[in-house]
Chains A and B, each alone.
Chain A
Amino acid sequence: MHYREQRTHRIFQELQRNDGLVDTYDNVFCGQAYLDAVTQNKIQQNDILLMLSIDGAQLYESKDSDCWIYIWIILNLSPEYRYKKKHVLLGAIIPGPKKPKIIDSFLFPGLHHLSAVQQEGLCIWDASQDREFISWLFLFLACADGPGLLTLSNFIGHQGKNGCRMLCPLNGRHKPGAPQYYPVLLKPDNYNVLGCDHPDVDVYDIGPSNSHVYIQCLLHLLNSPTQRVYETRRLETGIVGPSILLGLQPELIQGIPEVFSSEMMHLSGANMATLWLDLWRGKFDCAPTDSQANWDWAIFKDIATWEAHGRAVAACRMYLPGSFDVAPRDPSLHANSWYKATEYITWIYSLCPALLYGILPERFWRNFCKFVAGLRIMAQYSITPAQLQRACQLIAEWEPEFERIFYQRRVDRIPFIRPCVHLTCHLASEATRVGSPICSSQWTMERTIGNLGQEIRQPSDPFSNLAQQGIRRCQVNALKAMIPHFDPPENVSPRASADLGNGYVLLAKRDKHLTTVHGDDARVIADYLGLPRTPKIHRWARLRLPNGQIARSEYQELQHAPEDIRMARNVKVRQSLK
């Protein structure tokens, strides 16, 4: 539990050493928002930082199983522990299948409880130091996908003129006569829609808003004398009404909209992935003034190309190590049925740069690669300041280029610039504010939904079943926390392994007996040892690396048919070769 304290101390040392820069952005504590709050004494040594995460879930493949779940993540724990099942606190399970009309009423009991504890302080006894103290609970981040966030923020949402989840001052533009706004930076040609005809916006001017502005706007909105004025001001401010989070103690929340950050999982695994696919497959609505014949990038409109691509994706399966989780299936066969975010991410950002080379015309391919390069850095768990600068530059170049080559300042192509394009521009600056985006993403939420769903053994009455599973999990976790004997540490070194130190562990299989090696192998080993004759050796099949990945080798992989394995024998070697 002392992780935050120690980490904060180390970060302040890094800042002194590196002229105000952290070594790497790998935690929310590396962000400016946290460090400022600590220097201003808003967050003190004993306080607990919380992250709230909410999402809708479908328990089974049918729509009838929709429900909503929110969880609390305790940021004081180190990242190795805080996202684990054992340490995630369930907030509430809101049963479906119909969407709750007033979701605030379901969020209220939990938030009310938090607010009450915030007012009185939480009395804690630290057994390791035998000391009692008062801890204040600080709500640091609130995460959700686009629609989910609106339940917390009460903003107008991505279709609005001021549609950014961080309430940034960028104004959207819309097609004449169409209600939906899009965050287009470049001004369309021959365009004079009132309120949207501002000149081009510089991508570097995009930055988050702050709570002073929010409060002013909110007051302005709430003081509307008539419904008409209210509607005009709602359009202007992007706010529908006060957020439920205003009910928390104002000094114990990061502020609105600061508490809302970018959400990497939906952005990369769903929204941007769909955008690229819709472009390549020509799935956008084609305006009468436009012609699909001009869509040079729509390479997958041709069914044969699309199916060939699908087969190529599926064929990559055996080359993807198991650490990639599920390998993407053939999208031309499976894209509609529970194609997972992980599959999209591997498919689009790992495979497509290679698979589309020579298929996608060069300038579209390069623009895509530029995006992938930026996104890959932003998706890292640990980002150095130099990498962050490169990602920032790549994304800042990519966005206007994307607008120029796809939307081409054409009024009828405004819908190409979906909100996710704009959110991508926020990624780099958000990392300096609240640490690497992966720390504040929805993956934990998704995992919680997944493993709770799996625990439902009985298909009837799924919602109360789910709620009971949730309660039981909380009870088990509480018992484990109170009586650590119930929770013995996992055996980290499995049977028949050899720990080599420095985090390297050799794993089975291993030759039962000393084996004589022949041919080139024997020559290379003898040369290496400087011996005239090659000694007998034990061959090992697998090696666990310090980063937790497991490298395999030909020794066992060649025993299986290539289709049956996920090849993991290709490794990166540091160049100290002779």
Chain B
Amino acid sequence: MILTLICDTIQISFNGGDRIAEVRYFTRLAREVDDWHDANEERNAQDRLQFVDVALVTLYSNPHPHLLERSYGVLASCTKLGEESLQMVRITDI
């Protein structure tokens, strides 16, 4: 199914290679600090963990290039890529 995404005008800029994604949920994952041993041996066990803030998303395709070009960048038509595109993205990339 073709979904025409109408984004905030401020957000449309595909020249930077940005993608549109549908968020399933946000979460904070606890992960061990990689370089913990080098940093400070004295710290307790809790300090070994830090949060990675992520969103679980499915992607949309890149916008239809012909439509995007013909419309001077105002019409971005994307299709859902579905379950195969399920992945994690860092919250700071949203």
- C-alpha spacing A498/B53, complex, angstroms: 11
* Interface check B91, CB cutoff 8 A: yes
Evaluate contact between B24 and A498: CB separation under 8 angstroms. Answer: no
Determine how close the nearest CB of chain A comes to the CB of B92; give it in whole angstroms.
Answer: 6
Chain B interface size, as a band, is 35 or more
* Interface check B88, CB cutoff 8 A: yes
Evaluate contact between B72 and A320: CB separation under 8 angstroms. Answer: no
* Interface check A575, CB cutoff 8 A: yes
Evaluate contact between A506 and B25: CB separation under 8 angstroms. Answer: no
* Interface check A502, CB cutoff 8 A: yes
* Interface check B87, CB cutoff 8 A: yes
Evaluate contact between A354 and B27: CB separation under 8 angstroms. Answer: no
**Which B residues are CB-close (under 8 A) to A528?**
29, 54, 88
Evaluate contact between A323 and B22: CB separation under 8 angstroms. Answer: no
- C-alpha spacing A496/B18, complex, angstroms: 31
- C-alpha spacing A520/B22, complex, angstroms: 15
Q: Could you say which of A253-261, A404-412, A564-572 contacts chain B?
A: A564-572
Chain A interface size, as a band, is 35 or more
Total cross-chain contacts (CB, 8 A)? 158
Evaluate contact between A573 and B20: CB separation under 8 angstroms. Answer: yes
* Interface check B81, CB cutoff 8 A: no
A500 in contact with B53 given A538-B28, A552-B23, A555-B24 (CB within 8 Å): yes
Tell me which of B10, B20, B74 contacts A353 (CB under 8 A).
B74
**Which B residues are CB-close (under 8 A) to A63?**
none
Determine how close the nearest CB of chain A comes to the CB of B33; give it in whole angstroms.
Answer: 13
Determine how close the nearest CB of chain A comes to the CB of B81; give it in whole angstroms.
Answer: 12
* Interface check A541, CB cutoff 8 A: yes
* Interface check A211, CB cutoff 8 A: no
- C-alpha spacing A538/B70, complex, angstroms: 44
- C-alpha spacing A376/B91, complex, angstroms: 27
Interface string of B1-43 (1 = CB under 8 A from A): 0001111111110001111111111111111000000000000
Evaluate contact between A543 and B55: CB separation under 8 angstroms. Answer: yes
Tell me which of B10, B74, B93 contacts A574 (CB under 8 A).
B93
Evaluate contact between A506 and B94: CB separation under 8 angstroms. Answer: no
Determine how close the nearest CB of chain A comes to the CB of B29; give it in whole angstroms.
Answer: 6
Evaluate contact between A350 and B9: CB separation under 8 angstroms. Answer: yes
**Which A residues are CB-close (under 8 A) to B22?**
554, 569-571
Determine how close the nearest CB of chain A comes to the CB of B69; give it in whole angstroms.
Answer: 11
**Which B residues are CB-close (under 8 A) to A541?**
25-26
Evaluate contact between A537 and B27: CB separation under 8 angstroms. Answer: yes
**Which B residues are CB-close (under 8 A) to A543?**
23, 26, 55, 91, 94
Chain A 370-387 interface residues, beta-carbon cutoff 8 Å to B: 370, 372-373, 376, 379-381
Determine how close the nearest CB of chain A comes to the CB of B71; give it in whole angstroms.
Answer: 4
Q: CB-nearest residue of chain A relative to B51?
A: A500
* Interface check A364, CB cutoff 8 A: no
A353 in contact with B56 given A537-B29, A574-B18 (CB within 8 Å): no
Tell me which of B54, B71, B77 contacts A366 (CB under 8 A).
B71
Tell me which of A316, A319, A376, A551 contacts B23 (CB under 8 A).
A551
Tell me which of A349, A350, A553 contacts B55 (CB under 8 A).
A553
- C-alpha spacing A380/B12, complex, angstroms: 12
Evaluate contact between B19 and A577: CB separation under 8 angstroms. Answer: yes
Interface string of A384-417 (1 = CB under 8 A from B): 0000000000100000000000000000000000
A380 in contact with B6 given A520-B83, A575-B16 (CB within 8 Å): no
Q: What are 10 A-B contacts with C-beta separation under 8 Å?
A: A321-B8, A350-B6, A366-B71, A366-B72, A373-B71, A500-B51, A504-B53, A529-B52, A575-B17, A577-B87
4 A-B pairs with the lowest CB-CB distances in the bound complex, closest first: A555-B25, A373-B72, A575-B17, A553-B23
Interface residues of A (CB under 8 A from B): 316, 319-321, 323-324, 349-351, 353-354, 357, 365-366, 369-370, 372-373, 376, 379-381, 394, 498, 500, 502, 504, 506, 520-521, 524-525, 528-529, 535, 537-543, 545, 547, 549, 551-555, 569-578
Interface residues of B (CB under 8 A from A): 4-12, 16-31, 51-57, 60, 67, 70-75, 77, 83, 86-94
Apart from A320-B6, A369-B72: 7 A-B pairs, beta carbons within 8 A? A351-B6, A354-B75, A529-B29, A537-B28, A554-B25, A572-B7, A573-B94
